[in-house]
Amino acid sequence: MLLKNKISLLRQALDQAGSYAEWKEIGLELDALTGLDLWKLDNASEHYNHELIRDRLMNLRRNMRQQDNRQLMRSLREGLHHDLGNIGNPLLYSYAHVGTKRLIEDYIDQVCLSLEHICDTELDFLSLENKRRFFEDTYHSYGQPSLMLSGGATLGLWHIGVCKALHEQGLLPKVISGSSAGSIVASIIGTHTDSELESFYDGDGLYLHAWTFKRLRDGLLGQGFADQRQLERFLRNNIGEYTFEEGFARTGRHINVTVSPVHAHHNKARLMNELTSPYLLMWSAALASCAVPILFPPVTLTTKTDQGDYQPYMPLKQWVDGSVRTDLPRQRLARLFNVNFFIASQVNPHIVPFMQSDRERLEKGRLRSWPKKVARAQVQMLGMGMLDFMRERTGIEVLRQLLDHGYGIIGQRYYGDVTIIARYTPRHYSYMLQNLDKKTLVWFRTQAERVTWPKIAMIQTHAKVGQTLDRCLNKISQQLQQQEELRPAKVIHLNTRRRHKAQLG
């Protein structure tokens, strides 16, 4: 009875933790009291190939012990994949409060140790230039993570807590995408340095007045029920007058904003970033991505010239809500930035109630879950078919946009490799189209942090290897640069000596 009471109290404390360090300490104690520490020590699980991972771990350790660096490099290149043996399976992180199987953690640690050994050891068979090439190829093969922020109106400010939780643990990806409300948070992250973000997370200096509603007559005439000029003021105050190119130069973050053309049957959705639209103003892209049909009218995008003048981007085209087609734009991110690990923060109020936990979505062999899955698939298929039929036959543009919006919502995939799902109460929904004050913003942020902390261990498993590769590449590049700086001095010195000997002769 005492043990049950203690476990109950710890679970309550876990839900009220004020920091990740506090949450982790309580979580580890709960794992010890509930026997989940023993689960971590048991290598076997149906959710991954533990024999393969153990064999790879033993090989790496043996190569290190025997100083067989050639074979160590081959082993690293052959087996370096974030989901080798299914170790990226979310179910492996759904049992314990903190961490996963010890075998997986040991394997990741050994991979990082092996990479650092190759980086720091002078190898007689490998020049420094070839060593850099090895790490470049390995880094490219391993890929990098991306954070995808969904739409969700004012509820999109939940993303601030997700970004803060990741940032504090050194896990905020360099590649971030945002749709609709998510584009606002992504753009702010992409135009503020790390030191500036600290005050942003607390709401200091953040202009919070985004919503002003217009007359009913304006909305019925197709001009939108919300004031787009006020939203533009909100965006320009918080994002600044940066283009995507300028934002990347300032922060080193690849910010991506999804926008959809008004006439989607003529053009596909676009992903705006420093590669595809370097001169486009970030606030302009976010304004278009937030242009939800009925609430806001379509937007003509704005670019900045080299002289600082503003001019229309494709003046004959108009753009709307980016989540209509690609709330979470996986394929484009993978192609442009070599992303192969996706962290999705899902806050869409019409999507969150239907999202499933990792166990509900991924566990196999549960007969009672089959009828629900079959029904879900049938409803999705029938819904898409009906909306597609109606949107192709309607002549009313506003209605067609709404049907197109609905089709996009039903047909999309809303999960990532890691999915952080907002937890809503009726109180949250009451803020959906309201301006928040600083106190409410901090309340949103704190709850989002608590939802993110259980996902930290899984994100760290992928990030640890990528960060090690990044450090090694930087170190080797610095060594090569130092060699280049020293080389001219040596040449001059040798030439001087030759001239001196010639004079003596």
Q: Which pLDDT value is given to residue 392?
A: 59
Among the ranges 40-49, 216-225, 430-439, which has the highest mean pLDDT value?
40-49
Residues 10 and 41 in one domain: yes
Structure tokens at 297: 């009218």
Residue 406: band (very low, low, confident or very high) from pLDDT cuts 50, 70, 90: low
By DSSP bridging, strand 310-312 and strand 302-304 are antiparallel
Which pLDDT score is estimated for 212? 84
Q: What is the CATH number of the domain that holds 238?
A: 3.40.1090
pLDDT of 499 = 42
For the chain, the average pLDDT equals 86
Q: Are residues 74 and 199 in the same domain?
A: no
Mean pLDDT in residue range 454-467: 95
Which is more confidently placed, 324 or 453?
A: 453
Evaluate if residue 401 carries a pLDDT over 70.
Answer: no
Asked if the model's pLDDT at residue 391 lies above 60, the reply is no
Residues 160 and 226 in one domain: yes
Does residue 284 have a pLDDT over 80? yes
Instruction: Please tell me whether residues 62 and 164 are part of one structural domain.
Output: no
Active-site residue, from 187, 284, 321, 358: 321
Which pLDDT score, from 0 to 100, does residue 498 have? 44
**Is residue 93 within 8 Å of residue 105, measured between CB atoms?**
no
Q: Which of 103-107, 268-272, 308-312 has the lowest mean pLDDT?
A: 268-272
433 band by pLDDT with thresholds 50, 70 and 90: confident
What pLDDT score was predicted for residue 218?
A: 66
**Beta carbons of 92 and 48 less than 8 angstroms apart:** yes
Q: Are residues 203 and 267 in the same domain?
A: yes
Helix (H) or strand (E) holding 310: strand 310-312
Q: What is the pLDDT of residue 2?
A: 83
3-state secondary structure 132-185: HHHHHHHHHHHCEEEEEECCCHHHHHHHHHHHHHHHHCCCCCCEEEEECHHHHH
Number of domains in the chain: 2
Give me the percent of the chain exceeding a pLDDT of 90.
63
Q: Report DSSP state, residue 23.
A: H
Residue 50 lies in a domain: yes
Beta strands 144-149; 175-179: pairing state: parallel
Marked catalytic residue, from 146, 180, 284, 289: 180
306 within a domain of the structure (yes/no): yes
8 A C-beta contact, residue 297 and residue 224: yes
- Would 389 be classed as within a structural domain? no
Report the 10 Å Cβ neighbour count for 223. 15
Indicate whether 335 belongs to any domain: yes
User: Is residue 94, in this structure, part of any structural domain at all?
Assistant: yes
Question: Does residue 277 carry a catalytic annotation?
Answer: no
Q: Are residues 44 and 184 in the same domain?
A: no
The question of whether 218 is a catalytic residue gets the answer: no
Q: What is the pLDDT of residue 373?
A: 57
Contact between 199 and 428 (Cβ < 8 Å): no
Does a structural domain hold residue 261?
yes
Q: How confident is the model at residue 267 (pLDDT cuts 50, 70, 90)?
A: low
If asked whether residues 44 and 178 sit together in one domain, one would say: no
Q: What is the mean pLDDT of residues 370-388?
A: 55
Q: Does 437 share its domain with 471?
A: no
Q: Is residue 6 part of a domain?
A: yes
Is 314 found in the same domain as 170?
Answer: yes
| Mean pLDDT in residue range 282-301 | 92
Contacts of 291 (CB under 8 A, 6+ apart): 228, 297, 298, 299, 319, 320, 321
Examine the domain organization and report whether 121 and 185 are in the same domain: no
* Cβ-based neighbour number of residue 325 at 10 Å: 24
Indicate the pLDDT class of residue 497, thresholds 50, 70 and 90. Answer: very low
Angle (nearest 5°) at CA 317 between 315 and 319: 120
Least confident window among 173-177, 281-285, 298-302, 370-374: 370-374
pTM of the model: 0.87
Say which range, 172-181, 218-227, 480-489, has the weakest mean pLDDT. Answer: 218-227
Residue 220: what pLDDT?
A: 61
Strands (E) in 316-394, as ranges, are 319-320, 339-346
Residues 422 and 285 in one domain: yes
Please tell me the predicted confidence (pLDDT) of residue 257: 96
Rounded-to-integer distance, Cα 432 and Cα 354, Å? 18
- Please check whether residue 441 lies inside any domain of the structure: yes
> Which range marks the domain in which residue 199 is found?
145-355+414-453
pLDDT digits (tens, 9 = 90+) for 331-349: 899 999 999 999 999 998 8
pLDDT digits (tens, 9 = 90+) for 414-429: 788 999 999 988 888 8
Same domain, 225 and 333: yes
pLDDT of residue 282: 98
* 223-255 pLDDT, tens digit each: 668 889 999 999 999 999 999 999 999 999 999
